[in-house]
Chains A and B, each alone.
Chain A
Amino acid sequence: MNPIEIAPGVYDVGVTDWNIRDFHGYSTDLGTTYNAFLVVDEKIALIDSVKKEFADALIDNISRIVDPRKIDVVISNHTELDHSGSLARIMHRIGEDKPLYCSKMGAKNLVRHFPQKWNYQAVGSGDELKLGRRTLAFLETRMIHWPDSMFSYLKEDGILFSSDGFGQHYAGPERFDDEIGDRIMVHAKKYFANILLLYATHIEKLIRQVAEMKLNLRMICPDHGVIWRSDPGKIVKAYLNWCRQEPEKKAVVIYDTMWHSTEKMAEAINAGIMAEGVPSKPMHLRAWHRSEVMTEVFDAKAVVVGSPTLNNNLFPTVADFLCYMKGLKPKNKIGAAFGSYGWSGEAVKLIENELTGVKIELAQAGLKVQFVPERPNLDACHEFGRKIGRAVSGP
């Protein structure tokens, strides 16, 4: 993408990765962007960089505005390689001795990624950098979502450079929230559910701290996706809401199947849940990516998981999903397990152990069917679903 002036003298010089479909295990069906920003004042500052393989495009974008060698300072808000991967090229181009501002943990973490002896300037909350007419203020935001994460705030313009916070994996013709409208919210929610959920309590505290600072927030520029300029308060409010993890009255039935038996159970259970007026969706783990499933789990009240027993164990995709969900620690949920089996039937118990291990309260005992479910088995599945539906819709 070409650079755009987002405010007088402030440019988005980032790049679009149209073709990425798997972002470290997160499905990016529409691609993503790596945003980087150039502030041109008496001093010229580059805020964040992009993935290594896009270094040329970043340098080209910067060159359309200024000679990259004129950059005086670089700010690294986050060490992760999609935002730091081009640093080696950038620092080499602008001068290896130019100051590189980052958090204290950023300095520790960047040296574990890059062998160069750069001129690290570790900053923390309250520290400021005068660029001329403008001032950058730094705010440490550890665990949003790495220990090194920080925000940079351009005071005079009211622009918050929020690193991965408020980001969305989305690539499209739009660069601003008002150009895409509410369609962007599903991408923002998916990002929160898959990247930030584990730190929800921590993020809520931080947002409240920032709110007390009463910043004149005119624009939020995350490092992925569109820039929030029409109503930056909207995404902040959405985050506060998501941090509370108050589920919606809906369910999700997550499963895999070998010879369609667990699938038949899943569909009967799903129909039972819906018969109680509760929206529910069956999600086959080889049809849906784990990050899509996690997005559904995020705001669902009930998480119903089914697996056939394979070699006395869980089906591998189910184990994959349970492991993924365990790491993200969703809260305030009920759950149940089901599955078909041939002769031993361990899977249901194994699912229950995983659900209770992540503090998902079991709504009822698991349901097992040997080999192929017949009509009475499917009726039992339907009733099993209805019971979950009632637990979701109940007081």
Chain B
Amino acid sequence: MERYVCQVCGYIYDPAQGDPDNGIAAGTPFAKLPDSWECPVCGASKADFTKEA
């Protein structure tokens, strides 16, 4: 599954890991993250992420 990079702080969302601290189970693809999900490091919105090159 594709990883996405936060354009604000550089955090990488890795679907294999998910974001368990914020209730996102491992295996959740980026597209399936709720719109209210925010970068766990800097609080940027989903729109601030781009697919990892």
Contacts and interface: CB of A to CB of B under 8 A. Distances in A.
A39 interface: no
A202 interface: yes
B26 interface: no
B41 A105 contact: yes
Main secondary structure of the interface of B (DSSP, over half): loop
B27 interface: no
B8 A199 contact: yes
A147 interface: yes
Given A199-B8, A202-B8, A147 B44 contact: no
Nearest to B6: A143
Interface residues of B, number: 6
B43 A140 contact: yes
Contacts of B25: none
Interface in A79-104: none
B16 interface: no
Interface in A176-208: 199, 201-202
B41 A202 contact: no
A142 interface: yes
Contacts of B41: 105, 142, 147
A143 B41 CA distance: 9
- Most B Cβ at <10 Å: residue of A140, A142, A201: A142
Interface string A123-167: 000000000000000001011000100000000000000000000
A142 B8 CA distance: 10
Contacts of A105: 41
Interface string B34-52: 0000000111100000000
Contacts of B43: 140, 142
B37 to A, nearest CB: 15
A143 B42 CA distance: 6
Contact of B9 (A140, A143, A201): A143
Contacts of A142: 9, 41-43
Nearest to A144: B42
B13 to A, nearest CB: 15
Contacts of A202: 8, 42, 44
Nearest to B41: A147
Contacts of B42: 142-143, 147, 202
A57 B27 CA distance: 52
Interface of A: 105, 140, 142-143, 147, 199, 201-202
8 contacts: A140-B43, A142-B41, A142-B43, A143-B8, A143-B44, A147-B41, A199-B8, A202-B8
